[in-house]
Amino acid sequence: MKKKQNLRDIDTQKHSGEHSHDDGHNHSSPEKASKFRTYLPAIFSFVMLIAGIVIDYFDTFPFFEGWVRIIWYVVAYIPVGFPVIIEGWKSIKNGDFFTEFLLMSIATLGAFAIGEYPEGVAVMLFYAVGELFQNAAVKKAKGNIKALLDVRPNEALVYRKSDYISVDPETVEIGEKIQVRVGEKVPLDGKLLSEKASLNTAAITGESKPDTIAKGDKVFAGSINLDGVIEIETTKEFKDSSIARILDMVQNATARKSKTELFIRKFARIYTPIVVFLAIGLTFLPYLFVDNYVFEEWLYRALIFLVISCPCALVVSIPLGYFGGLGAASRNGILFKGASFLDTMTKVNTVVMDKTGTVTKGVFKIYEVVNNDAFPEAEFIKYLMAMEEQSTHPIAKAILEYKVEGTDFEASEVSEVAGKGLKGTVNGKTVLVGNEALMTSNNIQVPAKTNTIVESIVMVSINGKFAGYVTIADELKEDAHEAIKQIRKAGISRIIMLSGDKDSITKEIGRQMGVDSAMGGLLPEDKLKEVERLQKETGTTVAFIGDGINDAPVLATSDVGMAMGGLGSDVAIETADVIIQTDQPSQIAQAIKIGRSTRRIVWQNIGLAFGVKIAVMVLGAFGMATMWEAVFADVGVAFLAILNAIRLQKMNWK
């Protein structure tokens, strides 16, 4: 069934764009008033309906009959019925005759035509209330999604008329100069004009460590400035920035329908006209076979049949189920680009993952310290750190983070030997820090055992003698081991690690992690060939998890591509199907669980809707069900389906 616009859509449009920068908790008085106005028609109709039923039941008001009674129920009907009738008429004008709006309009107006006024009001009232409930559920899901990514700054300090002024980021043009103070968010994508900057890009890339960049480097909107006032020249308008594109992608995730959802919509387009003609047949055909045929009685049965057969419980609850899944995933830091990937995730039985940046932090750390007896470890490290303080290399940063008491050694006359390391003086002694090439070029004899070391190695010589070395290795993420356990627990039969890092390092990490197999030294095309080989195996559905940049070909080819903290990259946005913003591999299993729970709840809703509708439809055709049972079969089932879908957002996925 094609739905041009329903009550939920009207309300969603009415409220769209209201809270770009709030946190979902602070609501102004106008917003509260707007919400009250949304519910006011249903409240008014409910009060009028209950009052009318009470007056009818006690029969204590003689005037409540004839036109007075009709007008009373018409007034009760209009607030909730008129919008539906209007939408039904618009659909007809657009060539879409068989919509839920038309079914509900015919059924309720027919009830008025045969004098069943309370039933007519009740059917439309509960339908309207159902729409309000589903609108609330959709807004909650959207709120969960938007709260995760709404890291946009509220203002931009742009240089205009010889001064920096605060403006809306959306008004800043390409090529303008903006200023970002310490602790503030970068409002737009651009390039750094200042000499250097230290940025927290966790909200964009998922990387927890600060990113130090130099003049001319790219800066992404949403990054937080950590050190000093910086200036940036904008290279993109706000609507084209990385954050804006991600927000747009997530908010439109439901545009990519699941196969189940598409099937139900196609089914509804065929199903709805069939039940309309069956209702017409139920009204007139008994005249040919029943001796005591009463038109009003069979029309009433047909109207009941129409209300029961309205497919809104299916058409509403199923996409709402997927929306609930998307919202639950977003609340847990997992972004699905569409409902279709929630479905595909349920079929995954093979997980292939990259190493660096996926199960490891991608950050260097001292793994081992080996020193000669002539230089105790503490003294050896002080010589090393004194030299590395003069370097900006990532390995130098890892060494400087090593814990040692007292760093009072100072280096002087430090010079960089291109591609080899550093040379300088510490406490009057000549110190070399670098690789084996630096040592051999200065006639320093290196122990043979260093040739068997697979990790990155930094060697040190003091006054012409080899003093020792440190090995630098990538560090496993805190939840890496737990991630593998949870993936196994989720029923995944095979876990494979593929990496461009050294094969020996990859196999060792794989052994520590407990994966089924690990291969290193692979180029992007090698990873692609391996995943394609796996996909050719019968019954294999592959999810690949990578950094979203170097692994772009594999992310695009795999059945489900998952990017770990790659939100700052256009490649990640374009190629990954699922993005794990928190950069935690343990959320791979969560994504699988959410996908399976979503599908289970969707099929529960389908079974509930069909089961109840068929049962009450049969009873209605034989005159054993009234309009009230019809209301339950339609709106009641929709309520239950909505509540069932909402459960997704309440579940604990840890």
Report the C-alpha gap between 95 and 2 in whole angstroms. Answer: 10
Q: How far is CA 145 from CA 206, 221, 331, 332, 607, in A?
A: 17, 19, 6, 10, 28
Q: What is the pLDDT of residue 74?
A: 93
What's residue 554's pLDDT? 86
Domains of the chain: 7-148+250-329+594-650 (no CATH), 156-249 (2.70.150.10), 333-360+478-593 (3.40.50.1000), 362-476 (3.40.1110.10)
In angstroms, rounded to a whole number, what is the distance separating the alpha carbons of residues 154 and 27? Answer: 17
- Written in H, E and C, the secondary structure of 78-132 is HHHHHHHHHHHHHHHHCCCCCCHHHHHHHHHHHHHHCCCHHHHHHHHHHHHHHHH
Q: Would you state the pLDDT for residue 164?
A: 92
Cα–Cα nearest to 249, from 322, 337, 333: 337
Residue 627 phi/psi, 5-degree rounding, is -65, -25
Task: Render the burial of 408-436: b for 16+ CB within 10 Å, e for the rest.
Answer: ebebeebeebeebbbbbebeeeebbbbbb
367, 473 contact by CB (below 8 A)? yes
**What three-state secondary structure class fits 473?**
strand
623: left (phi over 0), alpha (psi -120 to 50) or beta: left
Helix (H, G, I), strand (E, B) or coil at 40: helix
Helix (H, G, I), strand (E, B) or coil at 207: coil
Residue 367: what pLDDT? Answer: 80
Q: Would you say how long the chain is, in residues?
A: 654
**Helix ranges (DSSP H) in 150-234:** 202-205
What's the confidence (pLDDT) of residue 603?
87
Dist. CA 404–CA 402, nearest whole Å: 6
pLDDT of residue 62: 77
Instruction: Name the residue among 436, 477, 441, 484 with its Cα closest to residue 460.
Output: 436
Collapsed DSSP state (helix, strand, coil) of residue 367: strand
CA end-to-end span of the chain: 38
Kindly list the averaged pLDDT for each block of 10 residues, start to end, along the chain of length 654.
Answer: 35 36 45 70 90 82 83 92 87 76 77 80 79 66 53 80 90 93 88 89 55 85 86 89 62 53 64 78 86 84 75 68 79 79 90 86 79 85 87 75 71 83 90 90 88 82 91 84 92 90 82 91 84 92 80 84 66 73 85 90 84 79 74 74 76 64
On whether the CB atoms of residues 550 and 524 are closer than 8 A, the answer is yes
The percent of the chain in helix, strand and coil, each rounded to the nearest 5, is 50, 20, 30
In what order do the strands lie in the sheet containing 465-476?
A: 360-371, 465-476, 456-462, 429-434, 421-426, 411-417
Active-site choice (354, 474, 547, 551): 354
DSSP-based three-state secondary structure for 38: helix
What φ, ψ does residue 542 adopt, rounded to 5°?
-105, 130
634 is catalytic: no
Give the pLDDT score at 406.
59
CB atoms within 10 A of CB 124: 32
